[in-house]
């Protein structure tokens, strides 16, 4: 378990994780051969960019006093997006699998943070992040299914 001082510290890390995911989407789009796959990756990335814009503009004062957050689930940032696991020859299935894995990990982390927050508004913020990650994961699953075994 990791002790964070306050909500702003957690939010900064959250934005950093989401930016790393955006970078991964950029690479995934470039690596996709099919225009349909590229379009779906663009759509997923655009949703993420919009969420990043919202996250970056959050007024923490509107979420109540930024109290001490005792502990949140442990993580190793380098395990969130495995470095060098995607390459130009990666199949769409490999790319989708990495995207899904990252979305699921972030969903778990956000849900874990929400579980330990006491302030209701702060808890709701991280619950909404976990729901957003679930929506992104579902979109990746649909994409994988639409590409069948060829993906």
Q: Where are the alpha helices (DSSP H) in the chain?
A: 7-31, 35-56, 77-80, 92-116, 120-147
Instruction: Give the chain's domains with CATH numbers.
Output: 2-150 (1.20.1260.10)
Determine the pLDDT at residue 32. 76
Determine the pLDDT at residue 70. 56
Determine the pLDDT at residue 66. 55
Under DSSP, the state recorded for 34 is S
State how far the Cα of 42 lies from the Cα of 47, in Å rounded to an integer: 9
Write down the pTM of the prediction. Answer: 0.73
Determine the pLDDT at residue 148. 62
State how far the Cα of 94 lies from the Cα of 150, in Å rounded to an integer: 11
Instruction: Give percent above pLDDT 70 in the chain.
Output: 74
Q: What is the pLDDT of residues 80-109, one digit of tens each?
A: 655 556 666 667 777 788 888 888 988 988
Q: How many CB atoms lie within 10 A of CB 78?
A: 8
């Amino acid at each position: 378990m990791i002790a964070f001082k306050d909500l702003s510290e957690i939010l900064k890390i959250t934005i950093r994780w989401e930016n790393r995911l955006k970078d991964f989407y950029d690479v995934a789009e470039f690596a996709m051969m099919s225009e349909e796959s590229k379009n779906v990756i663009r759509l997923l990335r655009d949703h993420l960019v919009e969420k990043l814009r919202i996250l970056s503009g959050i007024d923490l004062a509107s979420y109540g006093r930024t109290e001490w957050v005792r502990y949140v689930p442990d993580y190793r940032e380098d395990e969130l997006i495995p470095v060098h696991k995607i390459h130009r020859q990666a199949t769409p299935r490999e790319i989708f699998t990495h995207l899904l894995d990252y979305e699921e990990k972030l969903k778990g982390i956000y849900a874990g943070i929400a579980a330990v927050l006491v302030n209701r508004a702060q808890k709701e913020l991280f619950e909404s992040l976990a729901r957003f990650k679930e929506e992104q994961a579902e979109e990746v699953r649909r994409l994988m299914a639409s590409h069948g075994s060829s993906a």
